[in-house]
Amino acid sequence: MQPALSIRNLSKTYASGFTALKGVDLEVQPGEIFALLGPNGAGKTTLIGIVCGLVNASGGAVSVHGDDIVTDYRKTRSIIGLVPQEVSLDAFESVWATISYSRGLFGKSKNPAHIEKILRTLSLWDKKDEKVINLSGGMKRRVMIAKALAHEPKLLFLDEPTAGVDVELRRDMWAMVRELRATGVTIILTTHYIEEAEEMADRVGVISKGEVILVEDKVALMRRFGKKRLELELVEPLAALPASFEGRGLELADDGRRLVYLYDTQAERPGITSLLADLAAENIRFRDLETRQSSLEDIFVDLVRDRT
């Protein structure tokens, strides 16, 4: 099967001389939800802009379902949907006209039933005759999404889809993304919100300073970098760890009131049973115990920090 998106050695240096992308390679398979995660200024919007034909690459090649984005521009553009980071709409058009017109731009025949379905899914149906200028910010974001879906794209880009949107829209959007995926649409979203990647993506790519520094299956990523943290709340504070506990990855915290143990979830035997037995033998008692798995956030912070 052809990848939905294939990017080879892509680079971009803006006219200012600033290099926003440096030799990016990336492949996304049909039907995947891929999250491109990176801090502000990492190059996410630049990358999307190139794939959508809004920004010219300085080097490298991009193909969408096997077609080159430069030589087969019309074809690739017609199967891409883009929800840009910034809202841009014709203020005096109605919602219905905005969406229908967008479909027409891609040379697709009229399909009122499809437009109706999109508007209903995005809770825009009762606003269909409203002029864009009369809509709230959240409703305008919904219109931007509807517009991107009007021509039934196979590859959908969501650039920072939930930056500054309300909880309800975020929930609707996530539901919509899952529904689209079920129909075979490939979705690439950029975000600097880890929860978004964690919630939605099958695979995660981390981009930092114009370089994709890691691409991995989300579950595998969490497993590989994931450390579990066991915290014991002690009955009696400890001034220091007994000598027999040294070199076992234990730490005292909170003025000796808590004992923290970081262990690798990949290890065959994390040694918790023996740790608890040894604590009992030393007569160190605890009143409470909790464990926590590191989130994508912790992983991301570690990754980006390691590069600077």
Read off the DSSP letter of residue 295: P
Assess 208 for contact with Mg ion (CB under 5 A): no
Q: Binds 41, which of Mg ion, ligand ADP, none (CB < 5 to 8 A, cut-off by type)?
A: ligand ADP
Q: Taking CB under 5 A as the rule, does residue 45 contact Mg ion?
A: yes
What number of helices (H) and strands (E) belong to the chain? 10, 14
Measured from the Cβ of residue 47, the count of other Cβ atoms closer than 10 Å reads 30
Contact call for residues 46 and 215 (beta carbons, < 8 A):
no
List the single partner that 180 binds among Mg ion, ligand ADP, none, CB under 5 to 8 Å by kind.
none
Task: Report the nearest approach of ligand ADP to the CB of residue 58 (Å).
Answer: 12
Q: In the chain, how long is the greatest CA-to-CA distance?
A: 78
Q: Are 165 and 3 in contact (CB under 8 A)?
A: no
CA contacts within 13 A on the Cβ side of 226: 17
The reply to whether 162 sits near Mg ion by the rule CB under 5 A is no
Closest to ligand ADP by CB, 45 vs 162, is 45
Q: Are 9 and 25 in contact (CB under 8 A)?
A: yes
CB of 196 to ligand ADP, least distance (A): 14
For 231, list phi and psi in degrees, rounded to 5: -120, 130
- 46 binds Mg ion, rule: CB under 5 A: no
Q: Which is nearer to ligand ADP, 20 or 62 (CB)?
A: 20
Please say which residue, 38 or 205, places its beta carbon nearer to ligand ADP: 38
Q: Does 42 bind ligand ADP (CB under 6 A)?
A: yes
| Interaction site with ligand ADP (CB under 6 A) | 14, 16, 18, 20, 38, 40-46
| Interaction site with Mg ion (CB under 5 A) | 44-45
